[in-house]
Amino acid sequence: MEHNDSDSIYALGSPLGRSALAVVRVSGLHLPEKLYAGLSTTKDKRGFFVRRLSLSGFSETCLVLSFPKPLSYTGESMIEIHPHGNPAVLSELFSWLEGLGIREASPGEFSRRAFLNNKLSLAEAEGIAMGIEAESKEQLLALEDFRGGRLGKKINKILSLIEQLLVRVESQLDFSDEEDVNEVASKEVFSSIKNANKALGFLITEYKPFEKDVMKKTIALTGKPNVGKSSLFNCLVGEKLAIVSKEAGTTRDVVRKRVVMSGFDVEIQDTAGLRDVASNNIEEEGMLLAKSAAKAADLVLHVVDQPVDTSGLKHKRDVVVVLNKCDLHEGVVDDSVVCVSAKTSVGVSRLVEKIQETSLRSAPERLVSERIYKRLIAAEKVLSLSGGGEDFFETSAQALREALLELKEIYGAFDNEKILDQIFENFCIGK
Ligand code: GDP
């Protein structure tokens, strides 16, 4: 991505479409005089004003907010224009701004400038991006830890531990001829590296990378033909979407329906029945689709219609065994199987509860940006590779140096355009 940080930039900060108001942000170290003149204000005047802005042949009444530098989000002079949320008005406004030499911002460019002008730390910038993308209250709560800098403190502790170790190892390199000293020292260093690595390991299990689609799940119904998958699918989605038939092999394509369950966006999939021999090529193709759907699903509901041996499946975390047609058979099955009747709906609400318990719970995990998570993993990996051997001190020093580089990148001890791009390109335009 090409950036010229001295350009003046603008972006729409609200969604495109019709709305009562829209927000257009403008930022630049030296915003054009004509912009201030057009908005009947001056560059040092801080505040908010109602202004009638003349566009090509019509005027638009806007609320105008002015933040002279350096007291603004980006640290540059910023103007916010709030016209009515009308795409035609916005298009004219953008043409006017472009005519003044102000270009459209790329994603995250406002926050990138805020970072470059020391208004935001990298962690804060990433916290903002993740906050915009968060999909649930749980995710917002989990982000607080990250934003509050607690993760930073933990990483810094490990960082200084590794730094001290590196100093020790490097000083040892000078005594490489003295074998007695070496042996004792190498044992100590080895166990200290292990400890640092353990501390990293704890962080990696404690924090989960922030995923945008965490509230989206897929559930696939699988099983032999005629066990009642399509009937159960219709029951779960509350609509007659899949064909129910006594004839085996009627479902070929994967039938999908999105429903909302416990605040999750769930796609339920009905798949072709799996049997040993397909009656024709189309059924065979359907069986292949079914297998790959089951593989990719977050949860598989494996449907049977007789109490058969499914012990191999029961212990899998992402498989729930469902015994359908409970109206036809009596007798007790063990607790790990959910008994339902798609015909009478008996047991369906228990099945929904089981689905919620199994995979629709958003654990209040601690969240971290994908970029930071990858650096932690990389640091752990290089440290775990440092083993014994003849050149123990040399290889350890190298591993410690590499781990330090990975960890230092997290909070910006670098001067690297590529990393800045990595962070800010994930932002939406206007932030
Ligand atoms: P699929 O091939 O696994 O999708 O099965 P279907 O949903 O097409 O159902 C096969 C047959 O079983 C149909 O005749 C359904 O009416 C019947 N069936 C499905 N669920 C039940 C149930 O709970 N009880 C009874 N008695 N019959 C059912």
Say which DSSP state 345 is in. Answer: -
State residue 254's pLDDT score: 81
Pocket probe mutation, ligand 1, options 232, 244, 253, 330, max atoms within 8 Å of Cβ: 244
pLDDT value at residue 414: 53
Q: Is the dihedral of CA 252, 253, 258, 262 positive or negative?
A: positive
Residue 324 CA: which ligand 1 atom is closest?
A: 23
| CA 245–ligand 1 middle distance (angstroms) | 7
**H/E segment holding residue 2:** none
CA gap 68, 77 in Å, rounded: 4
Mean pLDDT of 114-123: 83
Specify the pLDDT at position 94.
Answer: 95
* 224 Cα to the center of ligand 1, angstroms: 11
* Cis peptide preceding 83, ω within 30 of 0: no
Query: Given ligand 1 and candidates 221, 222, 226, which is best to mutate, with the most ligand atoms within 8 Å of its CB?
Result: 226
Specify the pLDDT at position 16.
82
Q: Which two tokens stand for residue 255?
A: 């039938």
Amino acid at 76: E
Model confidence at 179: pLDDT above 70: no
Compute, in angstroms, the gap from residue 212 CA to the centroid of ligand 1: 37
| 72-93 residue pLDDT tens | 999 999 999 999 999 999 999 9
Q: Report the C-alpha gap between 221 and 318 in whole angstroms.
A: 12
- Percentage of the chain with pLDDT > 90? 38
The dihedral sign for the CA sequence 349, 354, 357, 361:
negative
Arithmetic mean of pLDDT, 270-286: 74
Task: Answer for the pair 196, 399: CB distance below 8 angstroms, yes or no.
Answer: no
Per residue in 415-427, pLDDT (tens digit) is 556 556 666 776 7
In this predicted structure, what is the pLDDT of residue 31? 96
CA of 227 to the centre of ligand 1 (A): 6
- Tell me the percentage of the chain whose pLDDT exceeds 70: 84
The answer for 405, left when phi > 0, alpha when psi is -120 to 50, beta otherwise, is alpha
For the segment 311-335, the average pLDDT, to the nearest whole number, is 80
User: Which H/E stretch holds residue 329?
Assistant: none
Cβ–ligand 1 distance for 225 under 6 Å, the answer: yes
The answer to whether the Cα torsion of 148, 153, 154, 156 is positive or negative is: positive
* Span 320-341, average pLDDT: 85
Instruction: For residue 395, give the nearest of 380, 377, 383, 378 by alpha carbon.
Output: 383
Query: What pTM value is reported for the model?
Result: 0.55
**CA separation, residue 4 to residues 27, 93, 103, 139, 426 (Å):** 13, 22, 11, 34, 18
Kindly report the average pLDDT of the chain as a whole number. 84
What is the average per-residue pLDDT within 9-21?
A: 91
How far is the CA of 205 from the CAs of 89, 209, 411, in angstroms? 50, 10, 20
The answer on pLDDT for 148 being more than 80 is no
Q: Is 317 in the pocket of ligand 1 (CB under 6 A)?
A: no
Whether the per-residue pLDDT at 211 is higher than 60: the answer is yes
pLDDT at residue 63, rounded to an integer: 96
* 164 alpha carbon, distance to own chain's centre: 34
| First-to-last C-alpha distance (Å) of the chain | 16
Between residues 325 and 124, the one the model is more confident about:
325
pLDDT over threshold 90, residue 259: no
Structure confidence by residue, pLDDT tens digits, 361-413: 666 667 788 888 888 999 999 998 876 677 888 889 899 999 999 988 876 65
Q: Whose CA is nearest to atom 26 of ligand 1?
A: 325
pLDDT at 127: 80
Residue 134: the pLDDT is: 75
Pairing verdict, β 103-104 and 216-223: unpaired
| 342 in contact with ligand 1, CB cutoff 6 A | yes
* Residue 403 confidence (pLDDT): 93
Give the pLDDT band of residue 62 (cuts 50, 70, 90): very high
Q: Which residues pair with 297 in a beta bridge?
A: none
Q: How far apart are CA 385 and CA 145, in angstroms?
A: 30
Residue 268 amino acid letter: I
Q: Tell me how far the alpha carbon of residue 134 is from its chain's centroid.
A: 8
Q: Which long-range contacts (CB under 8 A, 24 or more apart) does 59-64 make?
A: 60/84, 60/89, 60/92, 60/93, 63/21, 64/39
